Amino acid sequence: MNTPLIWAADAQETPVNNPVLNISIFLAFVVVTLVIVFRASRNNKSAADYYAAGRSFTGPQNGFAIAGDYLSAASFLGIVGAIAVNGYDGFLYSVGFLVAWLVALLLVAELMRNTAKFTMADVLAFRLKQRPVRMAAALTTLAVCFFYLLAQMAGAGGLVSLLLGIDSKVGQSLVIAVVGVVMIIYVLVGGMKGTTWVQIIKAFLLISGVFIMTIWVLWLNDFNFSSVLDDAVANSIADPPEALLAPGLQYGALPIDFVSLAIALVLGTAGLPHVLMRFYTVPTAKEARRSVVWAIWLIGIFYLFTLVLGFGAAAMVGSETIVNAPGGVNSAAPLLAAVLGGPVLLGIISAVAFATILAVVAGLTITAAASFAHDIYSNVIRKGVIDSKSEVKVARRTVLVIGAVSIIGGIGVQGQNIAFLVALAFAVAASANLPTILYSLYWRRFTTRGAVWSMYGGLISCILLITFSPVVSGSETAMLGANIDFVIFPLKNPGIVSIPLGFLLGWIGSLTDKGVESKKLAAEMEVRSLTGHGAEAAVEH
């Protein structure tokens, strides 16, 4: 019982954080990945190469890359921290994040791979009117990417102060700029192929690092998880301490808010555009299935590890130390690494966390660029009269713009509490994207009006509800602080209202639409989606 307390005290008194070591390990990651990205870029010629990596990855490779895209710094640092401080409520998050993958596996992945080329809008525009549907789908894609991107970039700033010991605003801005520039190089040079390799490497490092820490924690506790829980309770600042092991610490005051979040998590994943785009990097629907299966195992095992690490951090570091550390809740995993393996393990885990942000940001950027170049520019503005070379050129320029916007945005939102943006991204994905995807794959009567209503309705309702919710104004933890108060909607997550609304609008829009969609295209889409006939083949070089 005493030893964990002594460790915790050590962690507090002697700063084991070694910024030079952390930066060196991180730079090594950047150098290695850049070399790989440059090598992978040699065959980038057509749009299929640039957006979909020539559809040449195997299922297991793509499974790692999906895990890499999905396991953001928020899910690593955030969930370990949430479990360490809020106990069971942190675990509730990870359950939703995992179960969500069944929607992708059973209902979406294979059929999408069979019917589309590069973007989510390809599926929706297959049998509906091209321009209105593409425009709406591209806008929801860009909105999700933008919210997610901003959250990651802001997270990078906070992580820097924690891991590299840079506290000044100028220093943090500089690091955000460096992250942005490295990311732009990855995406500009490597395209989807380079980005995918970065994701694979990062996922491997992240899962290995978390695996080693988990075994270490369990080994120190004689592989008795129950005793980890006992120590966690003993070192908890919860009142009463036993509350750590039961739900309610974080969401106890307003359980409906948690229900709303849970719906958005479980339905949002299969509508995240950067996840959907991964299904096009494999040659067949069968490989798409294999990649989701790999992703489910990797992500599931990862979250099981974070359960041990979260309670392990509470037990061995103590939740008081975590809350008071620079970086707050997010410092739980790095502090635990320091307690376990000293500065070297801390350096490795810090660099992995940083690489995680870099890779996720790259994945989001290529998705947003593809959506702008392929959907808005090629198909809406140029009405499809464009060759694939010029389209890729536009995509590359878009990458520069998005990179610049995310650097400026990341610097702009520094120090602001914008963690809600990730939840907002999931809510938009679940309310604006998932209904139209499911309807267009499974419901023949679905029409253009239904799609447009559902996408705009889902997107706008999410943004409005968030704007008038307690995360933006009216409380100490809100973005605008407690002094400005225009709260109308009581929940922090809009999902419970906006997701049913998205489904309802798609249904009503279709029923009231007098225009008739082509029966032949509907038949063709159904045949193709299930059989894989005429699906985009792998690129041969």
Partner 1 sequence: MTHDGPAQSSAPHEDEPQEPQGIDYVAVNESAAFVSLKKTQRSFVFPMAAFFIIWYAAYVLLGAYAHEFMAKPVFGSVNMGIVLGLLQFVTTFAITSIYVVFANRRLDPAAQAIRTELEGQEATS
- Report DSSP state, residue 279: G
Nearest by Cα to 349 from 331, 324, 329: 331
Residue 168 falls in which region: left (phi positive, over 0), alpha (psi -120 to 50) or beta: beta
Cβ closer to partner 1: 127 or 202?
127
Size of the site for partner 1 (CB under 8 A): 82
Cα-based distances in Å from 403 to 3, 110, 534: 47, 31, 35
Residue closer to partner 1 (CB basis): 202 or 278? 278
Using an 8 Å Cβ cutoff, are 270 and 108 in contact? yes
DSSP secondary-structure letter at 72? -
Q: Near partner 1 by CB under 8 A, which window of 93-101, 314-322, 399-407, 504-512?
A: 93-101
Contact between 192 and 52 under an 8 Å Cβ cutoff? The reply is yes
Which residue in the set 5, 99, 464, 504 belongs to the binding site for partner 1 (CB under 8 A)?
Answer: 99
Interacting positions 283-322 with partner 1 (CB under 8 A): 286, 289, 293, 296-297, 300, 303-304, 307
Of the candidates 127, 278, 449, 492, which one interacts with partner 1 according to CB under 8 A?
Answer: 127
Q: Which of 102, 344, 408, 463 binds partner 1 (CB under 8 A)?
A: 102
Q: Using CB under 8 A as the criterion, what x/- string covers residues 28-67 for binding partner 1? A: -----------------xxxx-------------------
The single residue among 255, 342, 412, 415 that binds partner 1, judged by CB under 8 A, is: 255
Vertex 15 angle, CA 14 and 20, to 5°? 140
Ranges within 338-397 binding partner 1 (CB under 8 A): 378-379, 383-385, 388
Which phi-psi region, left, alpha or beta, contains residue 229 (left: φ > 0; alpha: ψ -120 to 50)? Answer: alpha
Q: Which stretch binds partner 1 (CB under 8 A): 157-165, 255-263, 326-334, 356-364?
A: 255-263
Residue from the set 262, 336, 427, 471 that interacts with partner 1 by CB under 8 A: 262
**Could you tell me if 156 and 176 are in contact, meaning their C-beta atoms sit under 8 angstroms apart?**
yes
- CA distances for 447 relative to 25, 298, 429, 512, angstroms: 52, 37, 20, 9
With contacts defined by CB under 8 A, name the span among 19-27, 64-72, 249-257, 363-371 that binds partner 1.
249-257
Please, which of residues 495-524 interact with partner 1 by CB under 8 A? Answer: 517-521, 523-524
Tell me 247's DSSP state.
T
Q: Of 74, 210, 223, whose CA–CA distance to 153 is shortest?
A: 74
Nearer to partner 1, 124 or 188 (CB): 124
State in angstroms the smallest separation of the CB of 193 from partner 1.
14
Does 248 sit near partner 1 (CB under 8 A)? Answer: yes
> What residues between 211 and 240 interact with partner 1 by CB under 8 A?
224-227, 229-230, 233
CA distances (Å), origin 120, targets 23, 133, 284, 391: 37, 11, 17, 17
- Interface residue with partner 1, options 51, 126, 280, 453 (CB under 8 A): 126
| 504 contacts: CB under 8 Å, gap ≥ 6 | none
The minimum distance between CB 78 and partner 1, in angstroms, equals 17
Q: Whole-number minimum distance, CB 384 to partner 1, in Å?
A: 2
Which one among 19, 34, 41, 131 touches partner 1, defined by CB under 8 A? 131
List the one residue out of 416, 417, 447, 435 whose CA is nearest residue 495.
435
